[in-house]
Amino acid sequence: MHRRVRRVSTWLSGTAVLAAGALFFLPGAEEGDALPLTEAGAAAVAAAGATTPFVTVEAESGTLGGGAAVRSVKPGDPAPTKATLETEASGYSLVELNATGESVTLPNSSGKSANTLVVRASIPDAPKGGGITASLNLYVNGTFRQAISLSSAQAWNYREATTNPDDPSAGGMPYRFYNEFPVWVTGAAIAPGSTLMLKKDAANTAAVYDIDSVDLENVGAAPAQPANSVSVVSHGADPNFSKDSTVAIQDAVNAARQQNKSVWIPKGKYLTNSLVSKPLDFTGVKVQGAGMWHTTLYRKVPLPANSWRSQILVGSGTTVTDLQVDANAIWRGIGGTGGSDYGFNASGAGGWLLDRIWTRHIDANWLSGTGGIARNSRTADTYGDGFNINNGNTKNPDKLGLNITVQNNFARGTGDDSYAVYSDAGAAGTNGQLSGAKILNNTAVAPWWANGLRIAGGRDIEMRNNLVNSVSSNSALDVAVFGDTGHPLESATVSGNVLIGGGGWNGVRHGVRIGSPSATSLFPNAYTNATLTDNVIRGSLRAGLQIDRKNVNAVLRNNTIDGPALHGIWVNTGVTGTGTFTGNTVRNLRPGQVATRNDSASTFKITG
């Protein structure tokens, strides 16, 4: 049974948030820093975010042992100027184990037995890059249960390194510290109320273990093959990961398409490293796995990849459900040398569905076409966006970017915006305007690059009831256009979102940013038109909400801005347009900061 988790410890350290007056914690806050919610704020928190089959427990909410310590950053601390373990952690907090005997003990607060865990952690890179592997011991109710294998092979990239992004000696800034490690629990499931302890014993040889969080989930048995389906195994696919299954999977899809049947991918791990001429294409077929914990398509890209494409194509009439896609990619660059590529690349005028999928170590799930839906899914440790709704950056009737919905998904540790709407006009300005995109009830946790939520142009965009927690580099929410060829943002409604943190190390960023086309844009005189209502903007590491660039028409109504490090609302210099601000609450300001600062008073008129 899926559940919408309502413990703040699922997203931050703290206690439950259910009603007005309840306590809600800022990132890195102590017990004395709890802040009461208004009624509207409590309603937004209760509605925001995805309903998930797992419960997340933050490491910093646990019991420390043997000298383990919490590391954290919080609003009011010096604003970050580079990526750190703290800025990339959910809640901007982590537990560090750096000596034998240190541990953190966490409760199974999921309300049911947990036979799987996802441990989000970081261990050091190898001195010359490429990562290391080390174990960490798991105890249940104080008794050793198993060793968990961790690796930094797909972490520790170096921004602007002069050789490659995996080279620590090439002058780049280290970032992308964490990875998620799915674990099947050995022996009996961890019962409700039991404790699990992660401990650095003598056999655990990494110099330091930085623990961010643990997901607890009870995963059911794999189902049987559905009726009227074609099994990929019957076409030669190998569920035991010993030989390549790319051609066999495609053969099964082609046969199912001809026979008007679905495709069944049984329980197993399937190697897809064949250098075939094109990627897997699921267009027009329903492809079903045995569940995202049971069926994995693993891309073992020959590195350096030399432009080998490993994406999965999804076109009109396609449904993909109940499977995981993972890869050995080590840095970003779609189809490039690091092995990264899109997870699913969706298009088509006839609609498509992605449901209950789990993508890991991929680039974006690139979502175009008309009438597509991505729901009930999760993505982690990506090299690009989590879910990107777009118009394909092209003039193509199959890639219009119309009426696409992304709903009830969970993204953590994304390498670009966790959820984005991207409307590109093209160099000649002839690509159609994206419209009708909906991003609803999703959760974004700790993207290591870019924003939690982003609207970059479009018409009739809706972004409602999403939860963002802890953005390392940019803003929790960015509302503007994309680059010099981005379409204007004609209309967007942003409502009921809970936006925690933001204002990271990448230049001067804030909790929320509202911007506009640049002077060199194809549309330099266009205005950004956005309405933000009933959002909670909390714990920003700089200003709560900033309006910048020039042409902006913004309606801000009934929003709560709580505890920003700088001003509540800050209109930068040089902005033209209008602001209609009514019913907003700015609270818990720090000394010297003001609720609203308008540095463009003569050109940006605020009413209300």
Q: Are residues 81 and 200 in the same domain?
A: yes
**Other beta carbons less than 10 A from residue 466's beta carbon:** 31
Asked, for residue 552, whether it belongs to a domain, the answer is no
Q: Are residues 70 and 172 in the same domain?
A: yes
Asked, for residue 408, whether it belongs to a domain, the answer is no
Determine the pLDDT at residue 24: 37
Determine the pLDDT at residue 39: 66
Q: Are residues 209 and 246 in the same domain?
A: no
Residue 92 CA: distances (Å) to CA of 102, 177, 417: 21, 13, 18
The two three-digit tokens of residue 99, written as one number: 């000596």
At position 123, the amino acid (one-letter code) is: I
Asked, for residue 462, whether it belongs to a domain, the answer is no
Asked whether 400 and 349 are in contact (CB, 8 A), the reply is yes
Q: Are residues 80 and 195 in the same domain?
A: yes
The two three-digit tokens of residue 199, written as one number: 């401990």
At position 110, the amino acid (one-letter code) is: S
Q: Give the pLDDT means over successive 10-residue stretches in the chain (608 positions).
A: 34 28 39 52 84 97 98 95 98 98 97 97 98 98 98 98 98 98 98 98 98 98 98 98 96 98 98 84 98 97 84 98 97 93 97 98 98 98 98 96 98 98 96 98 98 98 98 98 97 98 95 95 97 98 96 98 98 98 97 98 96
Asked, for residue 46, whether it belongs to a domain, the answer is yes
Asked, for residue 575, whether it belongs to a domain, the answer is no
Q: Are residues 183 and 306 in the same domain?
A: no
The two three-digit tokens of residue 406, written as one number: 């992304």
Q: Are residues 14 and 87 in the same domain?
A: yes
Asked, for residue 417, whether it belongs to a domain, the answer is no
| HSE, side-chain direction, 13 A CA sphere, residue 470 | 31
Burial of 525 by CB count in 10 Å (0-12 exposed, 13-18 middle, 19+ buried)?
exposed
Phi then psi dihedrals of residue 251, to 5 deg: -60, -40
Peptide bond preceding 304 in cis form (omega within 30 of 0): yes
Determine the pLDDT at residue 340: 94
Asked, for residue 412, whether it belongs to a domain, the answer is no
Rounded to 10 degrees, what is the CA torsion of 347, 353, 358, 363? 10
| HSE, side-chain direction, 13 A CA sphere, residue 432 | 17
Q: Of the residues 185, 217, 249, which one is the last residue of a structural domain?
A: 217
Q: Are residues 47 and 166 in the same domain?
A: yes
Q: Are residues 268 and 349 in the same domain?
A: yes
Determine the pLDDT at residue 37: 60
Dist. CA 506–CA 314, nearest whole Å: 34
Identify the DSSP state of 226. Answer: P
Q: Are residues 113 and 177 in the same domain?
A: yes
Determine the pLDDT at residue 485: 97
Residue 527 CA: distances (Å) to CA of 175, 217, 550, 581, 604: 35, 46, 8, 18, 12
Q: Are residues 43 and 131 in the same domain?
A: yes
Asked, for residue 389, whether it belongs to a domain, the answer is no
Phi then psi dihedrals of residue 59, to 5 deg: -60, -40
Determine the pLDDT at residue 523: 96
> CATH number for the domain including 134?
2.60.120.260
Q: Of the residues 169, 186, 217, which one is the last residue of a structural domain?
A: 217
Q: In terms of residues, how long is the chain? A: 608
Q: Of the residues 194, 217, 240, which one is the last residue of a structural domain?
A: 217
Q: Are residues 176 and 271 in the same domain?
A: no
Range of the domain at 60: 8-217
The two three-digit tokens of residue 583, written as one number: 């019913």
Dist. CA 447–CA 415, nearest whole Å: 6
Q: Are residues 87 and 152 in the same domain?
A: yes
Domain count, the chain: 2
